[in-house]
């Protein structure tokens, strides 16, 4: 697909993706029949011996020659990973279940002893997909066109498979968004759509299992697609005048549509991956450069609150929502947020929230919309009277909540 006459057909409101479907893509835990860490164990004896000798000399200052050896050892390990991935992708054309096993392998944590041998930063966790994504990024720098000639035809046979967008997002996200070839070569719009869908699936996988495996992917997308100095911003600048102007303008419009789609995804999962939820205004205006400001963020937040089924994550989202500044929102956005919080306060349909979620939603509602909180409290109390079976339990929870350390006692009683 060329850049002329193309348009991003992805996810302006993300409704084309079914959250329940995407959350359950990789539900089945599979036993791995092969392990990436074996590649280090089965490496050449000379390389192993060299690595062991380098470990014995850790007390000495690191020289440039030693850094080069460490870098070469890491690149060779990444090359072996890529060779194994190539074999698996070739086999996946006949057996789709291989992709599920591949996902669990590349999203697994690099063991500490392997990370130490590879001279990685030991202050954080590393995942195999990070090493592979870096390998394809460096490969494009060292051998321009190699990924496009060798790997993309292999991926082209797997586009239609259900799990492949997630695999593609993990393996090639750096090549797609950080290299000029990923942004200008034939079919770049389609690849960004696949990356968008795969990233969305992976972030839902993280939420469902309450992990942070995809945090590096989230940060890469945020920093490399929305930074002013990023390759994505500078590579499709339109020239002035002429026929080329129309072609470039079409590419630029597709780029803007893609950026908005990715902004929607980043907004949805911001509260899950951030450590500074109070900086949401800076995130929307200074990092994503959203013209709609907090309104687009709140619209995506409402969709997210209605989709999350993990109680721990949903309560965390509701706590973060209490830090929003609703005064700057448009009336329509404010009403949608109010209606969603109100549905999370009431038991039963349509969201069927648990008692803990209802309590947290009520606290958030009182913080964001203090006017009428006593009226809402009275209405909810009357509804509890209509359910005599739950009335004693509700009274007990109310009394416990007023006791010292009542919250912790209540959790223990559950």
Q: What does the DSSP assignment read for 32-45?
A: -SS-THHHHHTS-H
Same domain, 301 and 198: no
Instruction: Judge whether 12 lies within some domain.
Output: no
pLDDT score at 389: 59
Query: Average pLDDT of 395-414?
Result: 60
Structure-model confidence comparison of residues 67 and 155, the more confident one: 155
pLDDT reading at 244 higher than 50: no
Query: Average pLDDT of 282-305?
Result: 90
Structure-model confidence comparison of residues 296 and 404, the more confident one: 296
pLDDT band at 109; cut points 50, 70, 90: very high
**Mean pLDDT for all residues in the chain:** 78
Contact, 337 vs 326, CB < 8 A?
Answer: yes
Same domain, 210 and 148: yes
Q: pTM to 2 decimals?
A: 0.76
Same domain, 309 and 382: yes
Query: Average pLDDT of 184-201?
Result: 91
Query: Average pLDDT of 350-361?
Result: 89
**Of 268, 285, 314, which residue sits at a domain end?**
268
Instruction: Judge whether 173 lies within some domain.
Output: yes
Same domain, 211 and 306: no
Domain count, the chain: 2
Of 35-44, 97-106, 187-196, 261-270, the one with minimum mean pLDDT is 35-44
Same domain, 253 and 301: no
Range of the domain at 52: 19-268
pLDDT digits (tens, 9 = 90+) for 85-98: 988 888 887 787 88
Q: Residues of 146-178 as b/e, b for ≥16 C-beta within 10 angstroms?
A: ebbeebbeebeebeeeebbbbbbbbbbbbbbbb
* CA dist., res. 308 & res. 314, Å (int): 6
pLDDT above 90 covers a percentage of the chain that reads: 37
pLDDT band at 45; cut points 50, 70, 90: very low
pLDDT score at 6: 35
pLDDT reading at 56 higher than 80: no
In terms of average pLDDT, the best of 45-59, 69-83, 164-178 is 164-178
* CA dist., res. 111 & res. 246, Å (int): 51
pLDDT above 70 covers a percentage of the chain that reads: 71
Same domain, 104 and 188: yes
pLDDT reading at 324 higher than 80: yes
Same domain, 263 and 313: no
Same domain, 211 and 250: yes
Instruction: Judge whether 65 lies within some domain.
Output: yes
Structure-model confidence comparison of residues 104 and 96, the more confident one: 104
pLDDT band at 405; cut points 50, 70, 90: low
Instruction: Judge whether 410 lies within some domain.
Output: no
Same domain, 83 and 27: yes
pLDDT reading at 179 higher than 80: yes
pLDDT band at 174; cut points 50, 70, 90: very high
pLDDT band at 373; cut points 50, 70, 90: low
pLDDT reading at 237 higher than 60: no
pLDDT reading at 241 higher than 60: no
* CA dist., res. 317 & res. 322, Å (int): 9
Same domain, 307 and 238: no
pLDDT score at 387: 63
Q: Which residues contact 360 (CB under 8 A, 6 or more apart)?
A: 315, 318, 319
Instruction: Judge whether 14 lies within some domain.
Output: no
Tokens of 78: 């990444």
pLDDT score at 126: 93
Same domain, 344 and 244: no
pLDDT reading at 245 higher than 70: no
Same domain, 147 and 78: yes
The position carrying tokens 């899950």 is 272
Of 52-61, 161-170, 208-217, 242-251, the one with minimum mean pLDDT is 52-61
Instruction: Judge whether 399 lies within some domain.
Output: no
Instruction: Judge whether 24 lies within some domain.
Output: yes
Instruction: Give ∠ CA 367-272-331 in degrees, rounded to 5.
Output: 45
pLDDT band at 30; cut points 50, 70, 90: very low
Instruction: Judge whether 287 lies within some domain.
Output: no
In terms of average pLDDT, the best of 38-52, 153-167, 244-258, 299-313 is 299-313
pLDDT reading at 266 higher than 80: yes
């Amino acid at each position: 697909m060329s850049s002329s006459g193309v348009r991003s057909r992805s996810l302006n409101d993300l409704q084309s993706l079914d959250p329940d479907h995407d959350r359950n893509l990789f539900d089945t835990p599979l036993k791995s029949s092969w392990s990436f860490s074996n590649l280090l164990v089965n490496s050449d004896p000379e390389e192993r011996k060299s690595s062991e000798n380098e470990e014995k000399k850790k007390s000495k200052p690191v020289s440039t020659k030693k850094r080069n050896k460490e870098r070469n050892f890491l690149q060779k390990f990444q090359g072996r990973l890529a060779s194994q991935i190539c074999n698996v992708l070739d086999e996946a054309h006949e057996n789709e279940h291989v992709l599920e096993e591949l996902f669990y392998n590349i999203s697994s944590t690099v063991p500490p002893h392997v990370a130490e041998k590879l001279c990685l930063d030991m202050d954080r966790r590393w995942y195999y997909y990070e090493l592979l994504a870096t390998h394809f990024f460096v490969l494009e720098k060292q051998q321009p066109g190699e990924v496009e000639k060798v790997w993309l035809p292999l991926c082209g046979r797997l586009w239609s498979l259900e799990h492949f967008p997630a695999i593609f997002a993990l393996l090639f996200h750096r090549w797609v968004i950080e290299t000029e070839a990923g942004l200008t070569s034939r079919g770049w719009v389609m690849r960004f759509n696949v990356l968008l869908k795969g990233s969305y699936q992976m972030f839902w996988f993280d939420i469902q299992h309450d992990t942070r495996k995809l945090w590096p992917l989230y940060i890469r997308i945020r920093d490399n697609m929305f930074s002013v100095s990023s390759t994505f911003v500078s590579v499709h600048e339109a020239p002035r005048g002429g026929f080329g102007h129309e072609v470039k303008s079409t590419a630029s419009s597709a780029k803007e549509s893609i950026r908005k789609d990715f902004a929607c995804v980043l907004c949805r999962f911001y509260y899950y991956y951030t450590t500074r939820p109070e900086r949401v205004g800076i995130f929307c205006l200074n990092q994503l450069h959203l013209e709609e400001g907090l309104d687009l963020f709140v619209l995506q937040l409402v969709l997210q609150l209605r989709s999350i089924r993990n109680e721990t994550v949903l309560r965390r989202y509701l706590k973060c929502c209490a830090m929003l500044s609703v005064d700057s929102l448009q009336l329509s956005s404010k009403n949608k947020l109010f209606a969603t919080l109100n549905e999370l306060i009431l038991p039963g349909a349509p969201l069927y929230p648990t008692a803990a979620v209802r309590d947290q939603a009520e606290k958030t509602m009182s913080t964001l919309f203090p006017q009428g909180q006593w009226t809402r409290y009275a209405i909810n109390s009357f509804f509890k009277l209509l359910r005599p079976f739950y009335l004693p339990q509700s009274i007990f929870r109310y009394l416990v909540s007023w006791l010292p350390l009542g919250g912790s006692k209540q959790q223990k009683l559950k």
